């Protein structure tokens, strides 16, 4: 009995010490695990914060880059509009040039006509001035055949007087049906007359 007590007396403190040591170890490990967990969470949080900061920075860079692209696109649109405007102006200039060429050709034709007119004036026979002319049937142009002046037509034939456009200035004059078988008229350069039958012209110089 005494031996049992001795064993219990010795074993009990040892058991208590082991139990206490186990509890201390458990709590120590538990605290270590929690501490490690907190540390891991903190590290992960820091990593995530760093990632978020980096993403924000990249987003800002992308935003700036997009703004640059938008500016470039807008500048390109402006250039395209300017090019379109230049093309429109060029087409307008080409039209003006074509119109100027057409006008130049028209003026050249008028100039040639004036030259022919002056040349015709120089070729008027002097003997026809103030004199009487017996006309043959057909057309007689002014000033190549007769000069511009006032005339008295006499005879029994017919007289046609045309303007520059080639249209009759007056009705056909049948001298055989007119008083004293005569008709007075005036002719200008570029106009012409046509006679049929007996027609004599006398220039009126007064």
Domain C-terminal end among 93, 110, 140:
93
* Residues 136 and 73 reside in one and the same domain: no
How does pLDDT run across 6-21, given as a tens digit for each residue?
Answer: 665 666 666 666 776 6
**Does a structural domain hold residue 102?**
no
| Least confident piece of the model among 42-46, 157-161, 193-197 | 42-46
With a cut of 60, say whether residue 60 has pLDDT above it.
Answer: yes
The Cα 174–Cα 159 span in angstroms is: 6
Structural domain total, the chain: 2
* Residues 130 and 78 reside in one and the same domain: no
**Does a structural domain hold residue 72?**
yes
How does pLDDT run across 67-81, given as a tens digit for each residue?
Answer: 888 888 888 888 888
| Cβ neighbours of residue 202 closer than 8 Å, sequence gap 6 or more | 131, 132, 133, 151, 152, 154
> Burial level of 163, CB count in 10 A (0-12/13-18/19+)?
middle
**Does a structural domain hold residue 163?**
yes
Find how far residue 50's CA is from the centre of its chain: 57
Has this prediction a pTM greater than 0.85? no
- Could you tell me if 162 and 180 are in contact, meaning their C-beta atoms sit under 8 angstroms apart? no
Helix H or strand E encompassing 112: helix 2-122
**Phi and psi of 139, rounded to 5°?**
-95, 150
**Does a structural domain hold residue 169?**
yes
With a cut of 60, say whether residue 164 has pLDDT above it.
Answer: yes
Distances (CA, A) of 205 to 135, 150, 152: 19, 8, 11
**Does a structural domain hold residue 100?**
no
> By residue range, what is the domain housing residue 173?
123-204
pLDDT at 12: 64
The Cα 58–Cα 98 span in angstroms is: 59
Domain C-terminal end among 43, 77, 93:
93
């Amino acid at each position: 009995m005494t031996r049992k007590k001795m064993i219990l007396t010795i074993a009990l403190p040892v058991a208590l010490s082991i139990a206490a040591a186990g509890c201390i170890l458990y709590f120590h490990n538990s605290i270590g695990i929690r501490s490690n967990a907190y540390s891991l969470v903190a590290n992960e949080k820091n990593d995530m914060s760093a990632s978020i900061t980096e993403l924000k920075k990249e987003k800002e860079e992308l935003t700036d880059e997009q703004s640059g692209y938008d500016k470039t696109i807008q500048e390109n649109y402006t250039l395209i509009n300017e090019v379109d405007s230049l093309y429109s102006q060029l087409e307008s200039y080409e039209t003006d040039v074509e119109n100027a060429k057409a006008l130049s050709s028209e003026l050249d034709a008028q100039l040639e006509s004036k030259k022919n007119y002056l040349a015709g004036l120089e070729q008027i026979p002097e003997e026809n001035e103030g004199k009487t002319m017996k006309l043959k049937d057909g057309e007689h142009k002014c000033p190549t055949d007769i000069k511009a002046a006032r005339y008295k037509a006499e005879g029994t034939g017919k007289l046609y007087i045309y303007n520059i456009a080639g249209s009759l200035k007056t009705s056909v004059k049948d001298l055989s049906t007119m008083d004293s078988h005569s008709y007075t008229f005036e002719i200008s350069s570029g106009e012409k007359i046509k006679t049929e039958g007996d027609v004599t012209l006398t220039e009126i110089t007064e």
